Amino acid sequence: MPGQKKDASLNLKEARNKLFNNMKNLKPIFINNSKIPVWLSRLSPINIWAFSFFIFVWCRGEIAEKTKRHETIHFQQQIELLFIVQWILYGIFYLFGLAKFKSGEKAYRSNPFEVEAYNNDQDENYLQNRKRYSWIKHV
Ligand SMILES: [Zn+2]
């Protein structure tokens, strides 16, 4: 019946929206007191305290709530870009920043993924209210 078909597609849409909303609540796996940020800092222009990659976040010490939010924003950015696209874009933005500012630290701070995370990591409700692809406005 035509009516039934319409209902089925509506349910599919609802299910997809529900899944997308539930993904907002996904958190990475936090690993405290890790040496990984220490090692990465040797290759990086900044001193790394915590580092988000794939479903993990490594932290040098006990991770604070604000840092947890910052790294969870990066986790959500990775989810919406299927991880690999975010890693590639992050690298491209970094290289553009490096060419523009001739400073690794400025390139890092002007990266749209970092601008979104730094601008909002003090807001406790940000992750709940965040719109998908919010980093785009900082490009
Ligand atoms: Zn960051």
Q: What is the pLDDT along the chain (139 residues), one digit of tens a residue?
A: 555 566 777 888 888 888 877 889 999 999 999 999 999 999 998 999 999 999 999 999 999 999 999 999 999 999 999 999 999 999 999 999 999 999 999 999 999 999 999 999 999 999 999 999 999 999 9
Q: What is the pTM of this model?
A: 0.88
Fill in the amino acid letter for 79.
Answer: I
Note the Cα 32 to chain centre separation in Å: 18
Taking residue 16's Cβ as centre, other Cβ atoms within 10 Å add up to 10
30, β-bridge pairs: 57
> Where along the chain do its domains lie?
28-138
Distance 17 CA to ligand 1 centre (A): 28
CA 111 – CA 115 distance, rounded (Å): 6
Alpha-carbon span 77 to 83, nearest angstrom: 8
**The amino acid at 31:** I
CA of 15 to the centre of ligand 1 (A): 31
Rounded to the nearest whole angstrom, what is the distance from the C-alpha of residue 20 to the centroid of ligand 1? 23
* 103 C-alpha to ligand 1 centroid (Å): 17
